[in-house]
Structure 1
Amino acid sequence: MTVRTLQAGPFEGQKPGTSGLRKKTRVFMEPGYLECFVQAIFNSIGGAKDKTFVVGGDGRYFNREAVQIILKIAAANGAAKVIVGQDGLLSTPAVSNLIRQRNADGGLVLSASHNPGGIDEDFGLKYNVSNGGPAPEAITEEIFSQTKTIDSYRIFEASDLDLSTLGMKGIGSTTVEIVDPVADYAALMEQLFDFAKVRDLFESGFTMRFDAMHAVTGPYAKAILEGELGAAAGTVLNAQPSVDFGGGHPDPNPVWAKQLVDLVMSADAPDFAAASDGDGDRNMILGKGIYVTPSDSLAVLAANAHLAPGYAKGLAGVARSMPTSTAADRVAEALGIDHYETPTGWKFFGNLLDAGMVTLCGEESAGTGSNHVREKDGLWAVLLWLNILAETRQSVKDIMASHWKRFGRNYYSRHDYEAIPAEDANALMDGLRGKLPDLPGKSFSGLTISSCDDFAYLDPVDGSRSLRQGIRILFEGGARAVFRLSGTGTVGATLRIYLENLETEESKLFRDTQDALASVIQAAREISELERLGRSEPNVIT
């Protein structure tokens, strides 16, 4: 085995977004493309020499090959050790947990999260730092800077390792440890939750369905739900990870998990249902006859987390991304704890968690987590819900009804306009920014604007500032409309409009969501002059 330095790069457009670098799979498969990006990561952190890394991914197309390439580049750059999941599989929260448990220097996560997989679909790679969380902006900017000038990478010429067998292997002087992808994560969950009480719940006849969407969470859910907790065989659906997610779209929302939603709305509905995404960091929560929005789920978990052993002492605080509804704020105020509003991107929660200022975090895009790792964690959220259900012995619908009566209901929806030409999307956002000074006091569709801004965030821990994070339009009475361009797509631009309306009158707590938001939807369209995009309806409503 020898180390070679091969000439390649630079490649345009290797700028990491909020969740790393995402491109079409064929782009990552271009000779030198992945290799140069990995080398740029190592260059940006002062090299890999004598360091320990965790590597794994969600099993999508090109995952196996990419893991082998990363191992060889890490070895060529002098890494002391690489910990890799069996067959190259690790959920994103499991990577975060292993980094923290093993005191690793960082981790490379291969995933495009909830994006579809396959040779003609999406692939991604992000770097996580030593706290287990996504690299902060200072590091991603340095990675991007490296990609603009890189002209070579170092790689070991060696045969691919057999990643199917647990144990120690090596490439040159680098130790490669192949680990069970589930074991350490499952042990952590057992520390946080009352598994015995949840077992009793299942033994009482409680029924559940968990849709793993042919993604990485399948083995985790089978081992924990059906294995450790005694849920009936067949509780976990689509449990076998697939390179193209069974031809589906591994995004746990009512559009892409429609069969699960239809099931809970049917006469044969289970008591509880949930789904997770491609890399296991997102979740969808449902009960018999009800869908729980991610914003409401965060609020309910904040209000009831003390029922689980790992959170029995209470919460230090709660944080949410700016587009997420303010439902969690109302819970935090009632509990007398701090709440924070951050930009979109889990990395912004990292400082708050590390400083002990918050315990729970959540994003409206189906991401919820806590201080147990530094990533959002889909299965963790499901297990916390199960612990709450086991303690209260209430249905999901009853829990939501009680919650809304106590705190009010933040009717909430996201409208996505996908694959918009980038110049059109940017023009719409620039037009909105230009209007902001003149909007307060004006009325649209019966709603009066109380304030508006282009959200900027001052990190209370390190003093860093993040600008232009999305446009907020706040109406009198608690309604909001938020406009933001997403950074997770790979074709054109995706305009996301987040719509919220607070309702505290008990007789109006059980309306259809889109009906309850009708005036906010119309006001948002008028304010943004949305018709300029030539779109009469959003591509996706969640």
Structure 2
Amino acid sequence: MVRRYFGTDGIRGVAGRPPMTAEFAFKVGVAAAEVLAQHGRADRSGAPTLLLGRDTRRSGQMLAFALAAGLTSRGAHVRDLGVLPTPGVSFLCRELQADAGVVISASHNPFDDNGIKFFNREGEKLPDALEAEIEALLARTHELGEVTGAEIGEASTFTTNGSHPYRDFLLSHGPDLSGLKVALDCAHGAAYRLAPEVFRALGADVRTLHAEPDGLNINTRCGSTHPAALQRFVAAENLDLGVTFDGDADRALLVDRRGRLVTGDHMLAICALHRGERAVVSTVMGNLGLEHFLRSHGVAFHRAPVGDRYVHAMLRAEGLTLGGEQSGHLLFLDKAPTGDGILSALQTLAAVRASGKPLEAWFDAITMYPQTLLNVRVAPETKAKVAEHTHVVAALELAKARLNGEGRVNLRPSGTEPLVRVMVEGRDPVVIEQVARDLASVVERAAF
């Protein structure tokens, strides 16, 4: 079956425009309730219970209410978690023994976008097969029988008496940060309250940036996709380090004292050595410098396709626990079933503190190759086919030849946006920049 709606990270689109409308979200709720009732561990009535969280986008409430209406209309029960990082919903699926979780978020995407992402009862992303079943049922929801009376599901708000279990989980995996001056860029997103609370509770002297969401400013010139403001702030204020999250806080990047960006590749290397890993999983976008550094320390290196679900699958297949992406989406499968930005930052800082070396010393020790990444906007219907175009195939071979065996070229469609990503990596930054631009130009002409 060709999947029309579900991508590598759930369903995404411009909020208010098909498919990301309230009407569509309602249908997704209906279909999900039916599929999960058949496959999930349900209560005695046969009705699954789902946890529902969202980020700070204005459209989040519209889509969450519509989705909840669809779920409850088919007998499912919904517990509304409100604004919460995506990994918090994942964690609570297991903690509260829910049948599934669903997050309304477009993660690092621009404000206009939104999305719907499901987790299973273990807090892992819903398997492809179940997503396919939900998608197949979307066109047939009108064929379903009536659900009336006491069979209609209940919706309730999740509340706590005192501390939040997800906050407690993060604190239990965080190091003593006393004496550290830390800046947090919360991207006006889901971590805007929780991340500062956690870092302060661990002893850090915290300065917050972009922690005033208004429903419209999530990821706007801030957060992990726009780290420049944090880099300048850390250096200007003479802070020890900075941490920047994306809109739903499932990824994080660090900034060292000198304002240099510590990527997910750096974080993966630091954690791998601290944890004594025999092997890690990165992606085809992982820097050659990361691979060389790890291999020089006896750590085997595996590459998966881009997307945390593929990193997760390879970790499981290889019996490993640590993997991640350059974007700062790291997986610690011995700690959590999905990527968690706050957890990743805390685990990296735990490794740094245990080493006795400051973050900037680690940055200097891990030599990364220059890498250029260009995003080429394409028509959505041609995104998956661009790499097969005759001119693009020829340009790709020419690009590889120009690097003369001292670099890599990667061309891939984005799993979440109408983009084709062109990545070129090599020793000479001038050469890779020109190779990337030439290849991107061919892709642009071939995509329309």
Task: Please confirm whether the aligned pair reaches a TM-score higher than 0.5, indicating the same fold.
Answer: yes
| Of 402, 414, 420, the match for 2:373 | 414
| Corresponding residue of 1:311 | none
| Of 260, 272, 288, the match for 2:230 | 260
CA–CA separation in structure 1 for the residues paired with 2:181 and 2:118: 38
| Corresponding residue of 1:248 | 220
Deviation at 1:348, TM superposition (A): 2.0
| Corresponding residue of 1:386 | 349
| Corresponding residue of 2:23 | 32
Written as runs of structure 1 = structure 2, the 5 A alignment for 1:516-535 is 516-526=428-438, 528=439, 530-531=441-442, 533=444
| Corresponding residue of 1:43 | 34
| Of 132, 135, 139, the match for 2:126 | 135
CA–CA separation in structure 2 for the residues paired with 1:21 and 1:114: 14
CA–CA separation in structure 1 for the residues paired with 2:138 and 2:222: 30
Q: 1:327 to 1:186 in 2, by over 3 A?
A: farther
Q: 1:24 to 1:109 in 2, by over 3 A?
A: same
Deviation at 1:393, TM superposition (A): 4.3
Contact 1:293/1:412 (8 A) holds in 2: no
| Corresponding residue of 1:99 | 93
Contact 2:185/2:243 (8 A) holds in 1: yes
Per-residue Cα deviation, 1:53-85 (whole angstroms, up to 9, x for no partner): 221111211323433333343333233x53331
| Corresponding residue of 1:482 | 410
Q: 2:113 is aligned with what amino acid?
A: D
CA–CA separation in structure 1 for the residues paired with 2:312 and 2:214: 31
Structure 1 or 2: more helix by fraction: 2
CA–CA separation in structure 2 for the residues paired with 1:93 and 1:436: 42
Is 1:368 the counterpart of 2:330 in the alignment? yes
**Percent identity over the alignment?**
21
Determine helix, strand or coil for the equivalent of 1:123.
strand
Contact 1:500/1:520 (8 A) holds in 2: yes
Q: 1:198 is aligned with what amino acid?
A: L
Is 1:151 the counterpart of 2:142 in the alignment? yes
CA–CA separation in structure 1 for the residues paired with 2:408 and 2:181: 37
Contact 2:242/2:256 (8 A) holds in 1: yes
| Of 18, 24, 46, the match for 2:8 | 18
Structure 2 unaligned residues grouped into runs of 5+: 41-45
Structure 1 unaligned residues grouped into runs of 5+: 1-11, 159-169, 307-313, 449-475, 503-515, 536-542
Is 1:318 the counterpart of 2:298 in the alignment? no
Report the number of matched residues: 435
CA–CA separation in structure 1 for the residues paired with 2:355 and 2:170: 20
Q: 1:259 to 1:437 in 2, by over 3 A?
A: closer
Determine helix, strand or coil for the equivalent of 1:252.
coil
Contact 1:324/1:364 (8 A) holds in 2: yes
| Of 271, 286, 296, the match for 2:240 | 271
Deviation at 1:137, TM superposition (A): 2.2
Of residues 19-28 and 435-444 in structure 1, the stretch that sits farther from structure 2 once superposed is 435-444
Written as runs of structure 1 = structure 2, the 5 A alignment for 1:270-349 is 270-289=239-258, 290-304=260-274, 306=275, 314-315=276-277, 317-349=279-311
Is 1:358 the counterpart of 2:320 in the alignment? yes
Deviation at 1:36, TM superposition (A): 0.7
CA RMSD of aligned residues (A): 3.5
Deviation at 1:248, TM superposition (A): 2.0
Contact 1:41/1:127 (8 A) holds in 2: no
Structure 1 or 2: more strand by fraction: 1
Contact 1:277/1:283 (8 A) holds in 2: yes
Q: Taking structure 2 as the reference length, what is the TM-score of the superposition?
A: 0.84
Per-residue Cα deviation, 1:7-57 (whole angstroms, up to 9, x for no partner): xxxxx9951111111121113674522101222223334547332322111
Deviation at 1:367, TM superposition (A): 1.4
CA–CA separation in structure 2 for the residues paired with 1:141 and 1:433: 34
Written as runs of structure 1 = structure 2, the 5 A alignment for 1:211-222 is 211-222=185-196
| Corresponding residue of 2:43 | none
Deviation at 1:148, TM superposition (A): 3.5
Q: 2:193 is aligned with what amino acid?
A: P
| Corresponding residue of 1:78 | 75
Per-residue Cα deviation, 1:429-462 (whole angstroms, up to 9, x for no partner): 2236974799499732xx22xxxxxxxxxxxxxx
Q: 1:382 to 1:26 in 2, by over 3 A?
A: same
Q: 1:179 to 1:211 in 2, by over 3 A?
A: same
Deviation at 1:209, TM superposition (A): 0.5
Q: 1:259 to 1:332 in 2, by over 3 A?
A: closer
Contact 2:108/2:248 (8 A) holds in 1: yes
Deviation at 1:91, TM superposition (A): 0.8
Determine helix, strand or coil for the equivalent of 1:133.
coil
